[in-house]
Amino acid sequence: MLHDVDPPHTHWQLKSPIHAHYINTLLKYYPQASIIMPHRCLNEVIPSACSLFLSLLSHYFNEDDIPNLKIMLGQMIPKFIDITIDRIFEFNSRESSRKNVFNIQYKDLITDPIGTVHRIYDHFHFLQWSNEFEKAMRLWLIENPQGKQGRHSYSLNEFHLETQMNKQLYKDYEKLFLST
């Protein structure tokens, strides 16, 4: 449907974790889709997601309600993450998923963006690497250093998450996607 309404000039970028819930549906309609799945330490992901939802929802609450909203988000977001991880595991367990998905570690993207993007291009053979492309990336990275727009700070403690971070599911996820 999206393709018919607004065909992309190059490619689509779907950048929300919610897309992990529907990879099977996406590939049903777009079997040649190339999916880059960045993975990040969950003790960073979960409070970040809580903070994002707090910024979206806090406008609808009184200041006095914010502490309770943080507690609620600290209970709800891990449940959402659990479902997301289950869907990723289920999808990743199928041999056919290997050709469509390239898993990367977020820290690699931050510490070696050029090398990480080069590995993505090597994986998806239809993408063409060029010196011009690399030069443009290097220039963009110089002009847009991390933190240029400010830093987003959050913590496990802020959302009462300390006790929820020791799940076996999280250990399995990090072992599969984050161990080097």
pLDDT for residue 8 is more than 70: no
**Based on the structure, what is the number of domains in the chain?**
1
> What is the domain extent for residue 172?
12-178
Q: What is the pTM of this model?
A: 0.83
- Mind listing the pLDDT tens digit for each residue in 60-95? 999 999 999 999 999 999 999 999 999 999 988 887
Q: Report yes or no on 7 lying in a domain.
A: no
Q: Report yes or no on 1 lying in a domain.
A: no
What CATH number should be reported for the domain holding residue 137? 3.40.50.300
- Region of 162 (left: φ > 0; alpha: ψ -120 to 50; beta: rest) is alpha
Q: Report yes or no on 3 lying in a domain.
A: no
Q: Report yes or no on 2 lying in a domain.
A: no
- Mind listing the pLDDT tens digit for each residue in 95-130? 776 788 999 999 999 999 999 999 999 998 878 899
Residue type, position 41, single letter? C
